[in-house]
Structure 1
Amino acid sequence: MEDEIMVLFRNLPNGKRYRDVHVYNAAISGLLCSKRYDDARKLYESMEMNNVKPDHGTCSIMITIMRD
């Protein structure tokens, strides 16, 4: 399922409503559950490139990833 998350995310339109913090959080969380920490980190880093600011949820997910 984790491969499908990355494919789906990469194929989303570039519109702001598809590239908001909630979509990123859902994708990063799915990768966390699948133990794909490197992909989750890359997705987190792509938030900055797309001018999406992390929120408290994003930070919580990333702390869990770093802990694991």
Structure 2
Amino acid sequence: WTSQMDDAFINALLKNGMESHLLTKSYIYLVRNHDMMRAFFGCPINMRKQVLMEMMYGDDGPPPAPSSI
């Protein structure tokens, strides 16, 4: 695993519309779950965000974005 792979991985999450408050959680989840990472990169790009959210949170969906006060 190299820093170039990390950059490519983060860019893949960003290109899929990952909200900033979920970026770190998504990254850690996929790095810890290699089978899920393969599934994430194996599905069509336009489905990746939804697939990842279901992997991580099930049918409940992701937590709401923190509100800025």
Q: Same fold (TM over 0.5)?
A: no
Greater helix fraction, Structure 1 or Structure 2: 2
TM-score normalized with structure 1 length: 0.31
TM-score normalized with structure 2 length: 0.31
Higher normalized contact order (CA 8 Å, seq sep 6+, divided by chain length)? 1
Larger Rg: 2
